[in-house]
Amino acid sequence: MSSIAIVGAGPGLGAAVARRFGREGYDVALIARDRTRLDELVDGLAAEGITVRGFTADVRRPQELTKALEEIAATLGPVEVLQYSPVPHRDFMRPVLDTGHRDLVGPVEFSVYGPVAAVRQVLPGMRRLGRGTILLVNGGTAAVPHPDRAGTSIAFAAESAYGHLLHERLAGEGIHVAQLVIPGAIVPGHARRDPAVLARSLWGMHQDRHGFRHYADDLDS
Ligand SMILES: NC(=O)c1ccc[n+]([C@@H]2O[C@H](COP(=O)([O-])OP(=O)(O)OC[C@H]3O[C@@H](n4cnc5c(N)ncnc54)[C@H](OP(=O)(O)O)[C@@H]3O)[C@@H](O)[C@H]2O)c1
């Protein structure tokens, strides 16, 4: 049985991706910090017929994240698809001239240490399977830095570089690494930025397996 781990899963994109992959027969593991909200999400998705489990971890604590992914592999088998998509904290988005080096600790922990810890945890399992997909999801500042959102702009650039390097390094091993950049907000009912539409794009990226960066909408959205 194939499984997807969604790191940073809530009622928006996380739930939509759980539904999309769940419908395709994947077992789904959700990671977030708040146990109560996670349980509600899991119960709702399970009631829709999806095989889903929730695991708590803060992505800014690599040991917690690694442990959750270890538990997922022990429960569901090797993770075949890893999606890294926690919603960034508001205080990462300060104007560039108000941003000191300490203000970058959170964004870097969140968008660089977290993905690196997650990838290193799941990669041996993907290599044993001989296949895998790693999906990074970012806002538009990953592609065009925004002067009022310095923390995410800087950290997303580093996350993008890491992803791009992995894409090139792992392609020959059947492990596809791709990034979905979502310019603007996720908006239910929007033609291109509705969670279910974005989940369909992520499913398509997993199936089609070409190219690193994909855009959910025009960059000036
Ligand atoms: N929402 C938007 O308008 C928007 C726009 C552009 C791009 N994006 C991208 O879309 C993805 C998020 O989608 P969404 O906004 O619909 O979110 P979602 O899937 O509804 O929820 C994301 C979850 O991330 C969890 N999270 C936040 N910080 C975390 C941490 N430190 N450790 C572990 N989990 C954490 C939160 O749960 P807990 O609080 O329980 O931890 C939250 O429920 C992200 O990749 C984001 O960059 C979103």
Query: What DSSP string runs through 56-108?
Result: E--TTSHHHHHHHHHHHHHHH-S-SEEEE-PPPPGGG---GGG--GGGGHHHH
Q: How far is the CA of 138 from the centre of ligand 1 (A)?
A: 10
Does the beta carbon of 37 lie inside 6 Å of ligand 1?
yes
Looking at residue 26, what is its pLDDT? 98
Task: Confirm if 14 and 50 have CB atoms less than 8 A apart.
Answer: no
Does the beta carbon of 168 lie inside 6 Å of ligand 1?
no
CA torsion through residues 72, 73, 76, 79, sign: positive
CB atoms under 10 Å from CB of 136, counted, come to 27
CB atoms under 10 Å from CB of 220, counted, come to 8
Looking at residue 98, what is its pLDDT? 97
Residue 197: closest CA among 187, 206, 207: 187
109-143, pLDDT tens digit by residue?
999 999 999 999 999 999 999 999 999 999 999 99
DSSP 13-27: HHHHHHHHHHHTT-E
Residue 170: closest CA among 124, 204, 112, 139: 124
Residue ranges covered by each domain of the chain: 3-215
Bridge partner residues of 27 (DSSP): 3
Residue ranges of the chain with per-residue pLDDT less than 50? none
Looking at residue 102, what is its pLDDT? 97
**CATH class belonging to 3-215:** alpha beta
